[in-house]
Amino acid sequence: MEQNPFSKTPFEKPLADLFKEGEVVVAVAEEDSEDTQIKRERLKMLEDREDKVVRLEDPHFTDTTEEALFYKDQEKQFNRLREFGISVPKISVVIGQIEEKKKIFIIADKVEGVHLHKIELSDSKMVAEVDEFYARLLGYYLDTYRRGLPIFTDIADFQFIYGKTTEQIKNSFYMVDVGTGNFSPTSDPNYDQRFKRVLDVLFREISEIKSDKKLAFPESTKKINEVKKFWLSQIPQIKDRKDRIFFGRQPLGENLRKLKDLYKDEIPTGMIHGNMPDHQFKADKNWFNSLNFHLVILLEDIDLGDTVVRKIQEFRLAHSTVEWDNRPTTEADIREANNLISFLLKSIPDANLTGPV
């Protein structure tokens, strides 16, 4: 009989699968769109502590002291989120082995609740709470960037849960991905671009919720205007663009070309992290988020023919469903996106691809 590799760990009892066959686990520290097998390999639970989740990570350093310092720095970054009213599960870090290989065990409080994108906005109190959450999140990014501190870049609505741990009585918003590699340091040559990409995603999410639900979201809208004002003061080239922040200093056409040409078509094995050394893959859902943002600008600010509008709307519709959110990117998805960009660059005159003015 094959021995369970998780029977020999730094814990008194062996680790057990967090995911059972035929069981749906809701609102724990994992991404909805991640492959189930990868979840099984990375997320475990303690046999006698259902209130905890154990996340497995490979070590970053051979030296244990350096590893400890790395996780102390991670905790500082988590505390920055907490300062802005965004909860993060309490964690403990244990260094141990599995099958004679060094492993990092991150023990986190389990959060039970509802993912952000599944919250029912049916009453005014919940609407106000979600509005305030987005305002706090935007406040975190603006303050962090102004100070030149590491920013949380693995942004997606499924990273956030409205719920509570067993120790709490009241629900609050949690950032549940306590894995590593999610913070971009100022030494990262793409620091500015990663910050803009985060704003791209947040602006799109807020805009879509406001549009779909016919909501005002006054607090997050006010914070968006503050972010825009900051960027307009930082980038003189776009001072005349008064009604939105344009992500990237290049015109729309140049940005579309970069999305197509500077990112790889291949689908890497394993997970794609925001800070992985070679993070230039179209398979990353954030790449599709960025493309979708540019498509929204095209639809809102440029006069397009019926054929162009129809193709854009068909693409956005296909890539905004729950099914799309919960499955991995395929080669067909990437091919379809490439074809759309090529079609747009060919169909729309360059003079109309300069972005909103």
One pLDDT digit (tens) per residue for the chain, 357 residues? 344 555 555 565 656 665 444 333 333 334 444 444 444 456 777 777 888 888 888 887 888 888 888 888 888 888 999 999 999 888 888 888 877 788 888 888 888 898 888 888 888 999 999 999 999 999 999 998 888 888 888 777 678 889 999 888 899 999 888 766 567 776 666 677 778 778 888 888 888 888 888 888 999 999 988 987 886 676 543 333 333 333 433 467 777 888 888 888 988 876 554 444 455 788 887 788 778 777 876 776 566 778 888 888 888 888 877 678 778 889 999 999 999 999 988 887 765 555 433
Measured on CA atoms in the order 41, 47, 53, 54, is the torsion positive or negative? negative
- Asked whether 272 and 287 are in contact (CB, 8 A), the reply is no
101-109 and 160-164 beta bridge pairing: unpaired
Q: Is 191 helix (H, G, I), strand (E, B) or coil?
A: helix
Predicted local confidence at residue 22, as pLDDT: 37
Q: How far apart are CA 118 and CA 137, in angstroms?
A: 18
Q: How far apart are CA 291 and CA 256, in angstroms?
A: 8
Angstrom CA distances, 295 to 56, 130, 281, 290, stand at: 38, 26, 19, 9
Predicted local confidence at residue 163, as pLDDT: 92
What is the Cα Rg of the chain in Å? Answer: 21
pTM, rounded to two decimals: 0.59
Predicted local confidence at residue 9, as pLDDT: 59
Contacts for 300 with CB less than 8 Å, ≥ 6 apart: 356
Q: Is 320 helix (H, G, I), strand (E, B) or coil?
A: coil
Sequence letter at residue 153: T
Closest CA to 172 of 107, 60, 84, 66: 84
Euclidean distance between the first and the last CA atom of the chain, given in angstroms as a whole number: 68
